[in-house]
Chain A
Amino acid sequence: GAVVSQHPSRVICKSGTSVKIECRSLDFQATTMFWYRQFPKQSLMLMATSNEGSKATYEQGVEKDKFLINHASLTLSTLTVTSAHPEDSSFYICSAGLGGGIYEQYFGPGTRLTVT
């Protein structure tokens, strides 16, 4: 199947700093990418939908100025957590849509963010 990578896999940052997480589709072009957040022992919560070349669509309750999403190319989407705080510590997972086909979506391995 198609491969989606995320970098970094783990990151620790200090409170008040910003951190960028990359999501790449390695062997296909993804017109749509999704960013999820998962707290320990909880389900995945969709944060935003990222479409190449346009602004991301954020889910209700997600601060777009805090979680900046850029989908500059068909293979790369980035999530920047700005002015991170300890409550932003979480597991962030991206997924990429291949385009067409209701089940053609592939998940990245996730990034564990710890804000100290």
Chain B
Amino acid sequence: AQKITQTQPGMFVQEKEAVTLDCTYDTSDPSYGLFWYKQPSSGEMIFLIYQGSYDQQNATEGRYSLNFQKARKSANLVISASQLGDSAMYFCAMREGGGFKTIFGAGTRLFVKA
């Protein structure tokens, strides 16, 4: 069965510094996709970044990058130059194969300090 683990319930980071949010996963399907979503207090789920299991390079989207280590089954999110607006809940998620069923991790709440 697929599983997503986020071991950091809360993280603090100083504004303008980089922060890494951890995510490990488990699946027996060789084809899968890994996602990171941001959920501010308003509740909407904001897609940040995607990494496919066959992608050779780590995904990057602006200040977000995904540190994909396939052998270790980890997909950590790196946010560079943190901003106050980055304070939110962050969820790591996975989908297997070509389906849409998404499994979410428990989430990490990020606090950015001024």
Contact = CB atoms under 8 A, between A and B. Distances in A.
Given A102-B52, A110-B43, A110-B44, A34 B98 contact: no
Contact of B106 (A32, A43, A106, A110): A43
Contacts of A103: 33, 35, 47, 50, 95
Main secondary structure, interface of A, reads strand
B77 to A, nearest CB: 15
Interface residues of B, number: 24
B25 interface: no
B81 to A, nearest CB: 24
A102 B33 contact: yes
A93 interface: yes
B34 to A, nearest CB: 10
A6 to B, nearest CB: 10
A44 interface: yes
A112 B43 contact: yes
Interface in B40-82: 42-45, 47, 50, 52
Interface in A99-114: 100, 102-103, 105-107, 109-110, 112
Nearest to A100: B98
Contacts of A43: 91, 104-107
A91 interface: yes
A107 B45 contact: yes
A113 B50 CA distance: 30
A42 interface: yes
Interface of A: 1, 32, 34, 38, 42-46, 49, 91, 93, 95, 97, 100, 102-103, 105-107, 109-110, 112
22 contacts: A38-B43, A42-B106, A45-B104, A49-B100, A93-B45, A95-B45, A95-B102, A97-B100, A102-B32, A102-B50, A102-B95, A102-B97, A102-B98, A103-B33, A103-B35, A103-B95, A107-B37, A107-B44, A109-B42, A109-B43, A109-B44, A110-B44
